Copies of this chain bind each other. A is one copy, B any other.
């Protein structure tokens, strides 16, 4: 567990457990895009969590405030690869922070921790995609030093 001190408030970031799923799913659904995409049933998330949790290259994070309430989540994936002279990538997916925490500096602290995690595991490149409608998120990523150098393509299978 990692402590994130943000402007006098104390948060923790830790590997999520099955008991955290309802709160994490609520965060995913409490979002303008997630509201249309997420399920009311917990079962599909439980199955996905079991698979994710058994893969040592995946890390699902639960962020708690000082009352122990889950107020944030992100998923980190370590991806070894040949391109860029054998660069290992840290893929960041499914980032959500509770609306009440926005602007508090928690996002910056959480990404700082995630980048440290990536470096500690040999990653030299962090990457993520963000829906083109999320203008606030794009400004946040730019402030963190991310470059919007790529188009992000998706296709249903």
Residues of A within 8 A of B (CB): 21, 24-25, 28, 34, 37-39, 44-45, 47-49, 51-52, 55, 57-58, 60, 75, 77, 79-91, 93-94, 115, 118-119, 123-132, 138, 141, 144-157
Which residue of A25, A49, A84, A157 has the most chain B CB atoms within 10 A of its CB atom? A157
- Please determine whether B58 and A28 come into contact, CB atoms closer than 8 angstroms: no
The 3 nearest A-B residue pairs measured at CB:
A150-B152, A48-B86, A44-B86
Q: Find A83's partner among B21, B34, B118, B141 (CB 8 Å cutoff).
A: B34
Q: Find A90's partner among B58, B87, B157 (CB 8 Å cutoff).
A: B157
Report if A157-B119 is in contact (Cβ < 8 Å); known contacts: A57-B57, A127-B129, A129-B150.
Answer: yes
Report if A48-B80 is in contact (Cβ < 8 Å); known contacts: A150-B131, A151-B152, A155-B147.
Answer: yes
- Please determine whether A152 and B148 come into contact, CB atoms closer than 8 angstroms: yes
Which residue of A25, A127, A144 has the most chain B CB atoms within 10 A of its CB atom? A127
